[in-house]
Structure 1
Amino acid sequence: MAKIHEIPAELRKDEGKGASRRLRHADVVPAILYGGKEQPQSIQFVHKDVYMASQHEWFYSSIIDLKIDGKNQKALLRDLQRHPYKQRLLHLDFQRVSENEALKIRVPLHFLNQEKSPAGKTAGVLVTHELNEILVSCLPKDLPEYIEVDLGNLSVGDIVHLSDLKLPAGLEIPELKLGKEHDVAVVLAKLGKEEVEEAPAADVAAAAPAAPAKGGKAPAKAPAAPAAPAKKK
């Protein structure tokens, strides 16, 4: 199970756009906590605390312990609004987590040993990561912070599909239940080719000036048009 991270929060009494603006001016981030059998709660965070947490990968894929006025509430981040150009968080949405209910969440992939693999050691081979995270279903106790993908045996021409991933115990990939067409590629290893665009031969010939024959003279210039006769006075 992934480590549970704790972030302090407080209940928020004032609601509405005006109240949210006042909170942001005071370096406080408004948020909502919903889900489970309880009513939605308006909460707030000190901007520094939640902004520092948002710089870590676990903030987006791990269970977070929200310590609201001294009481802990396990939750998952479901939505985050950022300022368009400032390093500011504007609003957060959290969903309560029940220990006995399966949840669906995207978990990041960590790729290992790519450089040591046969594909990684072969010149001209391009290894692409088609997916950097996947949607999984599991109980909260089985949720990992990330899933490791070992590419140590990756060879040229190999394709790693969703069904090839080695998942920790308790995890499922819901997409694989929808049919083979959903078993998409995660990693591709193929030879990279540089495409060089060449001008057609006909265009090159038309653009080049005509060369004189060997030992001959250069082609004569076209005669100038005769001058118009002068008018009699």
Structure 2
Amino acid sequence: MSNHKITAAGRKDEGKGASRRLRHAGKVPAIVYGGDAAPQSIQLDQEKTWVASQHEWFYSSIIDLEVDGKVETVLLRDMQRHPYKQVIMHLDFQRVSAKEAIRVHVPLRLVNAEGSPAGKTAGVVLTQELNDVEIVCLPGDLPESIEVDLSAMEVGATVHLSEVALPKGVELAVKLDEGHNPAVAVARHARVEAEPEVEADEAGDVPAAKQDDAEEK
């Protein structure tokens, strides 16, 4: 697990008006809650936070959040974006304890597809059916993503979630059975669309001799 650090500052002004003023000043209003401490309103730099939000770790990793010099370990729980601008409207962070298990959605990353039998076969398309999965683990065991090894994938095969090797200390949040075992990746032959048939009555299909006869009449 990699360590990621974000710096913030405490704030006392709350409400929609205060949040609007913060955003106009290039800041992101946010809140930190959970644990034994009371919820705390904070503010972050909009530009730096937007850059961080472009990485997967921002959503599925433990973050060292420094607020006015004090560092807390947190997990992003909610992010509100502007409907069309590159602006983060609000963030929710939850404090985490090293001794308490957490439930988190982490990305699934397909690896070694190119070297598989399916990947080496012309006309075969390998698609990812499941992008993330919810897991349960201690904060220290939280992976940024889970790799799905496709090196042995055959043409026409499907890799289900039950076949994915989980990192040590990590469990699926939902139990799998015959009724719930979603597909993660599928190798299919690409569809080849048939060429449209040419209509028989087109002028180009009529023998030249018959065209001449028709013109004389």
- 1:178 is displaced (CA, Å) by 5.1
CA distance in 1: counterparts of 2:193 and 2:104, whole angstroms? 40
| Partner SS for 1:181 | coil
What's the Cα RMSD here?
Answer: 2.4
Letter in 2 for 1:124: G
Is 1:124 aligned to 2:123, yes or no?
yes
Match of 2:178 in 1: 180
Give the gaps of 5 or more residues in structure 1. Answer: 222-233
- 1:36 is displaced (CA, Å) by 2.2
Letter in 2 for 1:179: D
Match of 1:82 in 2: 81
Match of 2:69 in 1: 70
CA distance in 1: counterparts of 2:173 and 2:60, whole angstroms? 17
| Partner SS for 1:18 | helix
Map of 1:137-176 to 2, 5 A cutoff? 137-175=136-174
CA distance in 2: counterparts of 1:35 and 1:198, whole angstroms? 63
Match of 1:194 in 2: 192
| Partner SS for 2:185 | strand
Match of 1:42 in 2: 41
| Partner SS for 2:171 | coil
Count of residue correspondences: 214
| Partner SS for 1:15 | coil
- 1:52 is displaced (CA, Å) by 2.0
Letter in 2 for 1:168: P
Q: Deviations along 1:157-191, whole A, 9 cap, x unmatched? A: 1111001001101111122x153221110000121
Letter in 2 for 1:188: V
Letter in 1 for 2:101: A
Q: Deviations along 1:194-227, whole A, 9 cap, x unmatched? A: 233757x9xx56x668x79x99x76xx9xxxxxx
Match of 1:108 in 2: 107
CA distance in 1: counterparts of 2:196 and 2:3, whole angstroms? 58
- 1:10 is displaced (CA, Å) by 1.3
CA distance in 2: counterparts of 1:13 and 1:196, whole angstroms? 66
Letter in 2 for 1:47: Q
- 1:133 is displaced (CA, Å) by 1.5
Q: Which has the larger radius of gyration?
A: 1
CA distance in 2: counterparts of 1:81 and 1:189, whole angstroms? 36
| Partner SS for 1:120 | coil
Match of 2:5 in 1: 6
> Scaled by the length of structure 2, what TM-score is found?
0.88
Letter in 1 for 2:180: H
CA distance in 1: counterparts of 2:10 and 2:153, whole angstroms? 51
- 1:39 is displaced (CA, Å) by 2.2
Letter in 2 for 1:181: G
